[in-house]
Amino acid sequence: MSNQEIIDFAARRANEYRQKWFVMHKKKDGIGFHCSESSIRAINDALNMHLSDEVLRITTGFRGGGGGYRDRCGILESGIILLGLKYGRVKSEEDCSKISYLVRLLHQRYLDQLGSIYCRILLPFHRLHSKDDSCAYVYDMGTRIVTQLLLEADDLILKMPKQELC
């Protein structure tokens, strides 16, 4: 699969996870997995990451901008978790430049492509413009942003400006 096909698959899959719960329960309203849960599961499927149930479970609290608090988007938070799994450190003496750089790039891409990193701004705007009064567009675009960054991360690190070093 090409990178674009992987990104498209992840975005489509995120909305499938979003819809899963109410389809299973034959309800007309509600959602399946929340944004943070849907995106990490979709990206896990698309990139064959083999994430444990524990990692998947961690994302539940990030839904709705942090337990419904409507702060930073749960998809952005799940993206940071995925970046941390690959580029994070275990010991304090290890370099943190890569992860810091990638997280800043993720924030910037969110701002450039969605206009905000905050659920309280993204949710009402995109609900107004959706066919089903949902956040489907953010599920789609946020998952695309995270997946693309993950696919490009190694190359981005190679080209990382020297001033980015911790």
Could you give the CA distance from residue 62 to residue 72 in angstroms, rounded to a whole number?
8
4-42: per-residue pLDDT in tens?
Answer: 999 999 999 999 999 875 555 455 555 689 999 999 999
144 contacts 110 by C-beta, under 8 angstroms: no
Cα separation, 127 vs 72, in Å, equals 17
User: In 3-state terms, what secondary structure has residue 69?
Assistant: coil
Compute the distance between CA of residue 102 and CA of residue 112 in angstroms, rounded to an integer: 15
CA distance 60 to 7: 22
* pLDDT, greater one: 42 or 135: 42
pLDDT the model gives residue 20: 78
Arithmetic mean of pLDDT over the chain: 91
Beta bridge partners of 118: 72
Domain ranges of the chain: 3-159
Residue 75 CB neighbours (<10 A): 36
Tell me the whole-structure pTM to 2 decimals. Answer: 0.92
What percent of the chain shows pLDDT beyond 70? 92
Pick the range with the lowest mean pLDDT from 4-8, 64-68, 84-88, 115-119. Answer: 64-68
CA gap 14, 10 in Å, rounded: 6
Q: pLDDT (tens digit, 9 = 90+) per residue, 91-117?
A: 999 999 999 999 999 999 999 999 999
Q: What average pLDDT does this structure show over 121-138?
A: 83
Give dist(CA 100, CA 96) in Å, integer. 6
